[in-house]
């Protein structure tokens, strides 16, 4: 008979502990949520964050590209203006400045001796 009573006590304690554990798990889910749902929400948040970072990088790249294009246009326009001004300042009848003035200051470089040390005229006999 003792075995039968011990078996019933074991069943009662097991069901009681199971109920308490279920209640505890239910309270945890109420308080903190389901871990699977949290994992899914975390994955969604990471995807959204990646989208935001990508969008921001793409927007920044577009802004930099536009700024670079504007800078290139302004540099090109300034260069064109300088070249037009330079052309209009010159008198088309007069020759360019480089051909009008004679070259001065430098003498031509002397010819190099051959690599073996002999004169270019021919071998010398001692």
Predicted pLDDT at 94: 57
Looking at the chain, the number of H-run helices and the number of E-run strands are 3, 0
Contact present, 34 and 25 (Cβ < 8 Å): no
Among 63, 64, 86, 83, residue whose Cα is nearest residue 75: 83
Q: Parse the chain into domains and list their residue ranges.
A: 1-33, 35-88
- Rounded to the nearest 5°, which phi and psi values hold at 8? -65, -40
Residue count of the chain, please give it.
Answer: 126
Instruction: Round to whole Å and give the CA distance between 19 and 91.
Output: 106
Total-model pTM? 0.39
pLDDT tens-place values along the chain, 126 residues long: 678 888 899 999 999 999 999 999 888 878 877 778 888 989 999 999 999 999 999 999 999 999 999 999 999 999 999 999 888 877 555 555 555 555 566 777 777 777 776 655 555 554
Predicted pLDDT at 111: 78
Predicted pLDDT at 72: 96
Instruction: Round to whole Å and give the CA distance between 54 and 62.
Output: 12
Predicted pLDDT at 101: 56
């Amino acid at each position: 008979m003792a075995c039968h009573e011990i078996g019933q006590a074991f069943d009662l304690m097991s069901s009681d502990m199971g109920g308490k554990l279920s209640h505890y798990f239910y309270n945890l889910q109420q308080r903190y949520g389901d871990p699977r749902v949290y994992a899914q929400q975390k994955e969604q948040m990471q995807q959204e964050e990646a989208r935001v970072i990508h969008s921001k990088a793409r927007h920044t790249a577009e802004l930099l590209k536009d700024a670079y294009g504007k800078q290139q246009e302004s540099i090109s326009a300034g260069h064109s203006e300088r070249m037009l001004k330079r052309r209009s300042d010159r008198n088309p009848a007069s020759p360019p400045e480089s051909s009008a003035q004679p070259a001065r200051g430098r003498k031509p470089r002397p010819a190099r001796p051959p690599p073996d040390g002999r004169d270019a005229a021919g071998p010398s006999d001692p």
